Amino acid sequence: MTARNNASLIAAELSKDTGFAGVTIDIDPREWSTRRRNIILRALKHGITECGYETGYFIKCLTQAYGASVQTMTQWSRDLQSDCINPDKFDELVAYTCAWIKIQLAGFKANDWESSDYYRKSVLSNWVEGVNRGHRPSTIPAPNVGSPSEKAEFIHKYLKKDDTELEFRDALVRKIERGEMLSIYLEAQ
C-alpha cells in the first residue's frame, strides 16, 4: 500500500544524491489491515503469493531484504520460475502443465482464436511445442486450478523446500505475528 505521508517522497528524493549510501526503513505491521496482513503471512508461510501487483512486489522486496524469497504470482506474472521448482518434481509439473494446456487448447474453436486471449493461447501453444521438442523451460505457466488459494496450494507442492529459506521466512512470520517493527537497511548499489 502506498505510504500516506511525505516521508517516502523525501527518502526517494534524497536517494538521488550522489553521496547516498543507504537508508533504513521501519515498517510497523500493526498498521496493516487484517486483509493485507493475512495476504503477507499466507505468502510467507506457503512461499508463493497470489495477489495484486503492488502487494506482490512489496512481499518480494520484503522477503529479499530478510534473505528469503517467494514465488510471485499476479495477473501479469502467471508463470513459475523453473529454478523455484523442486528438481525431483520438475518433470511431473511439466507433464501436468502440458496436459492441462492441451486440454484447454483442444476446447477452442477456430473463431475462439480471434478473441483477446489469442496471445496467451499462442504463448501456451508455443510452450508445449518447445517442451515436445525437448527444450527445458525456464518458466512454467501456472495452471488454472480454481481460486487463488487453491492455485497457491497446488503450486506449493512443487516448490523447493530449502531449509535456510524456510527459516528466514518463518522468522519473518513470527516477527509479524508478534507485531514487531520490521527494520530494513537498503544499501545503495
Mean pLDDT, rounded, for 58-78: 78
Cell numbers at 109, concatenated: 474453436
The pLDDT, as a whole number, for residue 178 is 96
The pLDDT, as a whole number, for residue 111 is 54
| DSSP output for the chain | ---SSSHHHHHHHHTTSTT--EEEEEE-GGGS-HHHHHHHHHHHHHTEEES-HHHHHHHHHHHHHTT---EEE-SS--EEEGGGB-GGGHHHHHHHHHHHHHHHHHT--GGGGGSTTHHHHHHHHHHHHHHHTTPPPSEEEPP--SSHHHHHHHHHTTB---HHHHHHHHHHHHHHHTT--EEEEEE--
The pLDDT, as a whole number, for residue 116 is 57
- Mean pLDDT over each residue of the chain, to the nearest integer: 83
Mean pLDDT, rounded, for 145-173: 82
The pLDDT, as a whole number, for residue 53 is 81
What type of residue is 60?
Answer: K
The pLDDT, as a whole number, for residue 52 is 81
pLDDT category at 108 given cuts 50, 70, 90 is low
29 and 176 Cβ atoms separated by less than 8 Å: yes
Give me the residue label for grid cell 523453473: 82
The pLDDT, as a whole number, for residue 184 is 86
88 and 96 Cβ atoms separated by less than 8 Å: no
* Largest separation between any pair of C-alpha atoms in the chain: 60
Q: How far apart are the first and last CA of the chain?
A: 25
pLDDT at 76 over 70: no
pLDDT category at 136 given cuts 50, 70, 90 is very high
Q: Which tens digits make up the pLDDT trace of 116-129?
A: 567 778 888 899 99
Q: Which tens digits make up the pLDDT trace of 8-65?
A: 788 788 888 888 888 888 999 999 999 999 999 988 988 888 788 888 888 888 888 8
The pLDDT, as a whole number, for residue 91 is 95
